[in-house]
Amino acid sequence: MIEVTDELVNRLEKVVDDLIVEKKVDTFLFGSKSQFDKLCLHVVTELKKKYPHIRRIYVRAEFPNIDEDYTSYLLKRYDHTYYPERMINARKAVYVERNYEMIDNSSYCVIYYDENYMPPRRKNSRRDLFDYQPKSGTAVAYDYAVRKGKSIINLCTNASE
């Protein structure tokens, strides 16, 4: 969970504006499972008023085939949507695979990664006697982006970078 502050919004606006103007980025890929996704969509949508050429693309993690109504609903917020083929048999890893898809198709990764955050402990099943500490989805995506040599822009003020 992130705390949306004016400072965070201002930093994100500056980063996205710089990507558009200085780095010539014209396409932004979005997931939909976090508060940070929603914040990024809001900021990019506001900047689209100033830079109408930029595109917002929603990478679906669910629903490989969608009807016209759902497509129309998504296209009120995004300029395009698609379901990556690599997701077809992803099962529980569907959101991890979706993040990998977005990272693979990006030069820059704008994230909010607090390396001190730990998701709640869980069990593999109700029958398990012991629980385990899962890695956050953001941590998994961050590690992947590092391995892929992507330019990472971490907006978390707790980040050690």
Report pLDDT digits (tens) over 69-102: 999 999 999 999 999 998 888 888 899 999 999 9
The number of domains in the chain is 1
- DSSP string covering 9-38, please? HHHHHHHHHHHHHTS---EEEE--SSHHHH
Residues whose CB is less than 8 angstroms from the CB of residue 73 and which lie 6 or more positions away in sequence, other chains included:
none
* Residue found under tokens 């990019």: 44
Answer whether residue 119 is part of any domain.
yes
Answer whether residue 115 is part of any domain.
yes
Answer whether residue 1 is part of any domain.
no
Higher pLDDT, 92 or 48: 48
- Closest to 144 (Cα-Cα) out of 87, 105, 92: 105
Answer whether residue 148 is part of any domain.
yes
Residues whose CB is less than 8 angstroms from the CB of residue 46 and which lie 6 or more positions away in sequence, other chains included:
13
Answer whether residue 160 is part of any domain.
no
Answer whether residue 142 is part of any domain.
yes
**Hey, what amino acid is at 34?**
S
Question: Confidence band (pLDDT; 50, 70, 90) for 161?
Answer: very low
Helix axes 6-21, 35-50, angle to 10 degrees: 50
Answer whether residue 33 is part of any domain.
yes
CA distance 81 to 10: 27
Answer whether residue 116 is part of any domain.
yes
Residue ranges making up the domain that contains 76: 6-154
Report pLDDT digits (tens) over 111-122: 999 887 665 665
Tell me the whole-structure pTM to 2 decimals: 0.86
CATH number at residue 27: 3.40.50.450
Q: How far is CA 31 from the centre of its chain?
A: 5
